[in-house]
Amino acid sequence: MNILRSLVVLAVTGLLSVASYADETCMSPYMAKIQGQEDFVYVWTLGVPGVGDEQDKLVTVDVNPESANYGKVIASLSVGGRNEAHHTGLTDDRRYLWASGLDTSKIFIFDVHTDPAKPSLHKTITDFVAKSGGVVGPHTNYALPGRMMLTGLSNNRDHGGRTALVEYTNAGEYVATHWMPTGDNLQGAEKSGQYADGYGYDVRVLPRKNLMLTSSFTGWNNYMMNMGAMMADPEAMKAFGNTMVVWDMHARQPRKILDVPGSPLEIRCAWSPEHDYCFTSTALTSKVWLVYLDEEGQWQAKAVGDIGDAAKIPLPVDISIANDDTRLWVNTWNDGMTRLFDISDPHNARQIYEKKIGTQVNMVSQSWDGKRVYYTSSLLANWDKTEPAGPDLQYIKVYDWDGKALQPAFAIDFLAEKLGAPHQMRFGAHSLYGSKADIASR
């Protein structure tokens, strides 16, 4: 497919994206939608020394209350070794799940459509660093039409935070590398504040505004270091991102670099066609930030809410926006809390609810209807807490949400089950693909 045709496909799909919402509210608007109750959650899990086979693995949990296996692990597929298993993403047709490792830079592509209850390993990409021109640490795997856009966290020259976006086809073929703009190479972007650090972390799009937005974290030198040692190292603590980059999505061109001090992590964009904004949270300064289109048609960024007590370093990690853009779940890893913010006025995020989930908490995924909220515990192998060992340390926990309080549905202790440390979650369902006979006939 040539570049002109690609741009046309992107433009047309963007016009249709409002009607093609994904079931998890943090998913790409280009993805196929699960209708109703999800059947499975696929959990990308870190191997832990001394636990089970010690390997990274994709764990499948049955989450349909009508199933005889509800709340149970029904499949586990190990990939060999420990790769610093971190984030995953489904292709736009939801047939394949991409899962990446921050240490080895390997990418594992799982077939989740042939048998959704028992995924298989379809392909392993082992030359990501070489193909990309030196990008290290593939993080976000984000669906575009026929493509996967991957964010890097580092590079193979100094293992610092300067990095790039890397584009692949759904079939796993390398397409292009798009380096983050830096102070010495702005690539035509406007430097709107103090920073142009070239760091990366997450990526999201608003197709109707031709917006692609990236955030920033830290490089391999830091995320593979013991957390206590890193926080005691003044130089290491300087090596965190302070920017978000506004890109022309179709041209893959950086347009503006926004100052967002304190390491902005996950990005969640509004779903309503009347809402031209996205949210993030800053790990080091514990704030909710808004990236929005101002009255002059310019993208701006500002802090709009506090997350806990920044002096106690709660460490905001994952966030999840409601489908009507009125609520935002925010997890803080260090204190194991989840907090719900009212964002009906996006310029004033107000906390309205909180609950302690465990000794630590990282990822949060909510169903599209907002009635179910999923939590997992692991952040990074060298950052995770080790005590007290028990059901609140490394887990998946599922709650029902009635609009007022989280009510426990079920939980699985991943250490007791000898599975490892659970990180990223993605939903699956039989209804997406029909019967095996139907799939074979297509």
**Residue range 142-157, pLDDT digits in tens:** 999 999 999 999 999 9
Give the CATH number for residue 64.
2.130.10.10
Q: Report the pLDDT value the prediction gives residue 344, as an integer from 0 to 100.
A: 98
Banded model confidence at residue 11, pLDDT cuts 50, 70, 90: very low
pTM of the complete model beyond 0.85 = yes
Domain count along the chain: 1
- Strand 164-169 and strand 264-269: pairing? unpaired
- Computed over every residue of the chain, the mean pLDDT equals 92
The domain of 424 spans 3-441
Calpha distance 7→255 (Å, rounded): 18
pLDDT, tens only, 328-354: 999 999 999 999 999 999 999 999 999
Contacts with 40 (C-beta within 8 Å, 6 or more apart), sequence order: 60, 61, 62, 63, 64, 74, 116, 117, 427, 428, 429
* Residues facing residue 167 across a β-bridge: 149, 176
Instruction: Work out the widest C-alpha separation in the chain, in whole angstroms.
Output: 60
Q: Report the pLDDT value the prediction gives residue 2, as an integer from 0 to 100.
A: 40
pLDDT over 80 (residue 161): yes
Residue 388 preceded by cis peptide, ω within 30: yes
Inter-CA distances, 133 with 14, 87, 229, Å: 30, 21, 30
* Residues facing residue 85 across a β-bridge: 101
